[in-house]
A and B are shown apart, each in its own frame.
Chain A
Amino acid sequence: MSLFLLRRVIGLVVTLAVASGIVFALMTVLPGDPAELMLGTDARADTLQALRHEMGLDRPLLAQYIGWVFGMMQGDFGVSHTYHVPVANLIVERLPLSLPLAFLSLGMALLLGIPGGVLAASQEGRFLDHYIRFKTQVLLALPNFWLAMLLVFVFAILWHGLPAGGFPGWGGGFAAVRALILPTVALALPQAALLARVMRQAVLETLEDTYVVAARARGLSRTAVLIRHALPNAFIPVLSIIGLQFSFLLAGTIIIENVFYLPGLGRLMLQAVNQRDLPVVTGIAMVLIASVITVSFVVDGLTRLMDPRLRGRP
């Protein structure tokens, strides 16, 4: 197990290094000079040169890269060109919204998707199965921003029961929770639909396995076989899908946060792109990359814990 951990941690570091290299390379090849962006196109050449020197842009690329990486390790992601505050502060301000939103939507997707998939599989070919398959198909086909607008229309404009957007901050208590309900549902439903379909397929496949017939032959009822033998085996492949979904929910909130005017990472990212605020864009990109890599690391570990066949392997 320790050898496995060591290898995976090395893998994690290498992946991060490669990803940061790519982000840095993109940043340097992009047209446009940050100093010129800050000062405007009619700035004087010597002022530009002075600013470039101050920002370290005249150093060799490798030195710039190493400086950038070491800065990030110490929590220094640079300074935003538009807000003139450290990027780290901007990100830390936004995380308390984006992280809970991702966790809430994932939780909801799991609560709806897993039982839905199992139910559909256990009723294969019957009404409930057809119903769940139809519903999930529709939800998968809906773009989530459109679903979001539909939810706003029904629950905020027609019914006035829930806020249409904005976020009062966690100090707002119950109001904060209410503000997150519609975004959570809009994010979670398509993911739940996907999860239900994947889970249904996985359960149906395991129900075909010989050990399921063998368990029936030992006298276990259909339900007991489903719970004891089919579900644990079906869940292992689904686990890696859940890992991917979490990454998607964390990174994929950009559109939803804009529909609901939520001050989260996604909205910050979109604004920064519009204003060509490179340090903010790369900072957020690196945070998202790191979280995606961490999640897949955790999922790998969980898979090994669940599947004894993998445990012995380094």
Chain B
Amino acid sequence: MTLLALKAISLQLRDKTLLNGVDLSIQAGQVWGLIGASGSGKSLTARTILGLPPKGALVTGSIELKGTALLTLDERAWCTIRGRDIGVVFQDSAAAFNPLMTVGDHVAEPLRWHLGVSQARARQLALDALARAEFPASIDVFARFPHELSGGQRQRAMIAAAIALSPKLLLADEPTTALDVTTQAALLGLFRTLADDEGMAVLLISHDVPAVAMVADHIALMVSGKIVEHAATNTIAPALAPRLADLFARSRPRPAGRLGETGDIVLTAKHLSYAYRRKMAVHDLSFMLRRGECLGIVGQSGSGKSTLARMVAGLIKPSTGSIEEGHATKQIQMVFQDPMGAFNPRWTLGRSIAEPLRRLTGKAVDERVVEALIEVGLDPTFAARYPHEVSGGQAQRAAIARAIIAKPDVLVLDEPVSALDVAIRGQILDLLDTLKSRHGLAMLFITHDLGVARSIANHVIVMQNGVIVEEGPASDVLAAPTHPYTQALVAASPSLYLRS
């Protein structure tokens, strides 16, 4: 039986058509993956189903939830449906919680609101919901505030709040994007369980094709406000769904080549340790980096990989140990995860990109900026733009331009593609690969995504709790991991195991 049916949903906002005839129908117990690039209208679809479109938006078409036409409801009727019949999980769990309220009260809130039960009863029911979301029972949620929990725990609490009243429909908007792979896999499994055991219909919105493919029965591809293709996950064939098939093929990374140990050594790290508040973030780490080589550092959040990146880039000093540069090594530059946050919003991109060129002035600077922009595949006119005028992928290209403009020998990249869409992710990785071979750049590439590591790194180091647990050529380590931690990471990485 059809639970949710969208018919010809269109949404206009200030003369712009953002949704253009979306048709979708979901049965109870099904998990649907809605994928598409950012700006394609996925999240907007969810907010329209929820009756919370942006201010001033004009919605046409019809949405039926179990036979009830939603778009004709008034605000009071909406308030009885949201939270009770439709549960929502948001992407950014750090922002989706009221910082002044305990986590437990967030889960109890819809129970009190919809059922009108006492606070004590609501709390009791909240604990049940938390247990269903597999939230650790040892945490006293009514004494803990959102900032005191990890991202994964917060996300589970948000799922608990969403399923507390056993809604028929669960909307999950990029629910695992900000999490590391093992947590991501566990949460995706939870959505599957909720659909199978409780008969919930789940609409999983994501730009991460392999992750969605792990749990969804059906996948719909959204482009420019319209669902252009959809198919059952196990029947995606190029003939029936060419764009989906192509996306699947592209999200399966091709492995980077193995490298002979021939390049000059540009950097040697010897027994690096870093202690923070008496805890060892990095403990006794040694490695070598050669010209033209990409060394991938993989591990979950908290494994110490970002601390390592900061030490190599010279942003923090190691507590003990040393980093020795090769005799020809002149410069180390860094690229950060969040390209927007890495630029001064009041400066043009050109001014930001030129910043490492402290000794040059005038025309020479402009020429170098244009050269760098062309090298990263951006039009020279981007020099005059401001960060908010470009997309995330373009901003990351500009960040790479800034990093290479002074012709560094070593590039430290801290999760440079994690914030980007799959399609753009591939382009940035290709760009980095080209730069590496063209200039013989040495790269230290920090990532939690093993698929990404396999497609760019020649050599990988797997880190856990600040120490190296495994290292070797990327193709060997990721194809046949020997350490249990690496094995767990590999098993939890959808992008490595995509069915063909």
Using a CB-CB cutoff of 8 Å, which residues 203-222 of chain A contact chain B?
209-211, 213-222
**In chain A between 196 and 255, which residues have their CB closer than 8 angstroms to a CB of chain B?**
209-211, 213-222, 224, 228-229, 232-233
**Which residue of chain B has its CB nearest to the CB of A221?**
B79
A214 to B158, CA, bound (A): 9
Quick check: is B98 within 8 A (CB to CB) of the other chain?
Answer: yes
Task: List B residues 317-370 near A (Cβ within 8 Å).
Answer: none
Tell me whether A229 and B98 are in contact in the complex, defined as CB-CB below 8 angstroms, given that A214-B90, A216-B52 are known contacts: yes
Q: Is the CB of A220 within 8 A of B109?
A: yes
Chain B: which residue is nearest A209 at the CB level? B95
> A232, B75: Cβ atoms under 8 Å?
no
Cα(A251)–Cα(B101), bound, Å: 37
Q: Across the interface, do B75 and A211 meet the contact criterion of CB distance under 8 Å?
A: no
CB under 8 Å from chain A, chain B span 74-123: 75-76, 79-84, 86-88, 90, 92, 95-101, 109-110, 113-114
Contact A309 B81 (CB under 8 A): no
Chain A residues within 8 Å of B270, by CB: none
The closest CB in chain B to the CB of A211 belongs to: B98
Q: Which residue of A lies closest to B84 (CB)?
A: A219
Beyond the given pairs A210-B90, A219-B81, 5 more chain A to chain B contacts, judged by CB atoms under 8 angstroms and listed by A's residue number, are A209-B95, A210-B92, A211-B95, A221-B79, A224-B113
- Whether B80 lies near A219 (C-beta < 8 A) is yes
Instruction: Identify which of B50, B81, B96, B110 contacts A211 (C-beta below 8 A).
Output: B96
Contact present for B145 and A309 (CB under 8 Å): yes
Q: Is A306 an interface residue (CB 8 A)?
A: yes
Measured between beta carbons, the chain A residues less than 8 angstroms from B95 are 209-211
Q: Which residues of chain A are within 8 angstroms of B442 by Cβ–Cβ distance?
A: none
Q: How far is the CB of A168 from chain B (nearest CB, A)?
A: 46
B147 at the interface (CB under 8 A from A): yes
The residue in chain B whose Cβ has the minimal distance to the Cβ of A307 is B100
Quick check: B109 and A217 within 8 Å, CB to CB? Answer: no
Q: Bound state CA distance, A233 and B100, in angstroms?
A: 7
Q: Name the distance in Å between A41's Cβ and chain B's nearest Cβ.
A: 58
Question: By the criterion CB–CB under 8 Å, are A221 and B109 in contact?
Answer: no
Residue A308 is within 8 A (CB to CB) of chain B in the complex: yes
A contact patch SS: helix
- Cα-based distance from A215 to B110 in the complex (angstroms): 9
A218 to B98, CA, bound (A): 13
- Whole-angstrom distance from the CB of A231 to the nearest CB of chain B? 10
Is B113 touching A218 in the complex (CB atoms < 8 A)? yes
Residues of B with C-beta under 8 A to A306: 100
B residues 415-463 near A (Cβ < 8 Å) are none
Q: What is the bound-complex CA distance between A209 and B90, given in angstroms? A: 12
| Closest B residue by C-beta to A217 | B88
**A60 vs chain B, min Cβ distance (A):** 46
Report the separation of the CA atoms of residues A214 and B88 in the bound assembly, to the nearest whole angstrom.
8
Q: Is B88 touching A232 in the complex (CB atoms < 8 A)?
A: no
A127 to B424, CA, bound (A): 46
Docked complex Cα distance between A213 and B44 (Å): 13
Cα distance, A220 to B114, chains bound together (Å): 9
> What 9 A-B pairs are tightest by C-beta distance, nearest first?
A219-B83, A210-B95, A218-B83, A217-B88, A308-B145, A218-B110, A219-B82, A214-B96, A211-B98
Q: Which one of B75, B100, B113 has the greatest number of beta carbons of chain A within 10 Å?
A: B100
Contact with B along A290-314 (1 / 0, CB 8 A): 0000000000000000111100100
Q: Is B477 an interface residue (CB 8 A)?
A: no
Looking at the complex, which one of A213, A217, A222, A312 makes contact with B83 (CB distance below 8 Å)? A217
CB of B161 closer than 8 Å to a CB of A:
yes
Closest to A229 in B: B98
Which residues of chain B from 22 to 48 have a CB within 8 Å of any chain A CB?
A: none
Given A214-B90, A217-B88, A220-B113, A309 and B52 contact (CB-CB distance below 8 Å): no
Q: Which of B58-83 contact A (CB under 8 A)?
A: 75-76, 79-83
Chain A proximity of B99: nearest CB distance (Å): 6
Tell me, in angstroms, the Cα distance from A209 to B100 when the chains sit together. Answer: 13
Chain B residues with Cβ below 8 Å from A218 are 82-83, 88, 109-110, 113, 161-162
Indicate which residue in A214, A222, A312 contacts B97 across the interface (CB closer than 8 Å): A214
Give bound CA distance, A218 to B162, whole Å: 7
Determine the distance from Cα of A216 to Cα of B50 in the docked complex, in whole angstroms: 9
With A211-B95, A309-B147 as contacts: A217 and B100 at CB distance below 8 Å? no
Give min CB distance, A309 to chain B, whole Å.
5
Contact A219 B98 (CB under 8 A): no
- Docked-complex contact A233 and B161, CB < 8 angstroms: no
State the Cβ distance, A128 to closest chain B Cβ, in Å: 18
Q: Nearest residue in A to B164 (C-beta to C-beta)?
A: A218
Taking the closest CB of chain A, its distance from the CB of B141, in whole angstroms, is: 13
For residue B444, give the distance in angstroms from its CB to the closest CB of chain A: 33
Is the pair B113, A217 in contact by a Cβ cutoff of 8 Å? Answer: no
CB atoms of B99 and A233 under 8 A apart: yes
**Separation of A307 and B98 alpha carbons in the complex (Å):** 11
Q: Tell me the smallest distance from the CB of B156 to a CB of chain A, in Å.
A: 15
Which of B75, B87, B148, B158 is A221 in contact with, Cβ under 8 Å? B75
Q: In angstroms, how far is the closest chain B Cβ from the Cβ of A197?
A: 21
* Chain B contacts for A224, CB-based, 8 A: 113
Bound CA–CA A158/B147 (angstroms):
59
Q: Is there an interface contact between A213 and B52, defined as CB atoms closer than 8 Å?
A: yes
Taking a contact as CB atoms closer than 8 A, the residue among A217, A228, A309 that contacts B82 in the complex is A217
Report the minimum CB–CB distance from B218 to chain A (whole Å): 23
B75: shortest Cβ distance to chain A, in Å? Answer: 7
B173: nearest chain-A partner, CB-CB? A217
- Chain B residues lying within 8 Å of A307, measured Cβ to Cβ, are 99-100
Specify which chain A residues have a CB less than 8 angstroms from the CB of B90 in the assembled complex: 210, 213-214, 217
Residues of chain B within 8 A of A228, CB atoms compared = 98, 109
Q: What separation, in Å, do the CA atoms of A211 and B106 have in the docked complex?
A: 10
CB–CB A233/B98 < 8 A: yes
Interchain CA distance A168-B145 in the complex, whole Å: 53
- From B50, B52, B98, B101, residue with most partner A Cβ within 10 Å: B98
